[in-house]
Chains A and B, each alone.
Chain A
């Protein structure tokens, strides 16, 4: 089980979603992925993608315009 960090600060649509998906593809079940960014729509949309793919949303933290999303990859 590993912790993966992705930095999407200053990135815009659709990069935060795409980089999250790339990280999911390269990770294994149980891995934790943390994405940080400041593109506001991605803060809503990454959780939608996580739900659609049935992974687990652990937390969303906000600090001004910046956000940090943690997800956990589903087993199987």
Chain B
């Protein structure tokens, strides 16, 4: 039984919304940069963002207006020099962050490994792995 919490963050990305993917990756990269270990568990709609070419394609969680709101937000982000989600995922991977893909979601939604970006996924797993990661983490977030 592990009773010692590590300097570690475990984040569940349940949402497929663009702005929430930003939250997960910004916090993930920030925690890695500040010396923590980080895992992001992609599940349900979040797992959609790990499909090939789909990381940037989530809608805005509010005021999406059939994509117009998202387009406007992307313009504002570009102007403020905010990195793209792809750049953030690349940094997350480079700094040693773990990407966990929920295999039950894959079954439910009929997603194959071939559909996903296998090169960035550390592990295909289920709730047990998440619980194990979370119980030894000082920070856990559900996004």
Contacts and interface: CB of A to CB of B under 8 A. Distances in A.
A17 B30 contact: yes
B26 A49 contact: no
B2 interface: no
B35 A18 contact: no
B35 A14 contact: no
Given A13-B26, A14-B26, A21 B81 contact: no
Interface in B15-69: 26, 29-30, 32-35
Interface string B56-100: 000000000000000000000000111100001001001100000
B83 A21 contact: no
Contact of A18 (B7, B81, B82, B91): B91
Contacts of A52: 7, 34-35
A48 interface: yes
Given A13-B26, A14-B26, A22-B95, A49 B33 contact: yes
A62 interface: no
Nearest to B77: A12
B35 A15 contact: no
Contacts of B80: 12
A25 interface: yes
B8 to A, nearest CB: 13
Contact of A21 (B7, B26, B32): B32
Nearest to A48: B34
5 contacts: A10-B81, A14-B30, A14-B33, A22-B94, A49-B33
Interface of A: 10-15, 17-18, 20-22, 25, 45, 48-49, 52-53
Interface of B: 7, 26, 29-30, 32-35, 80-83, 88, 91, 94-95
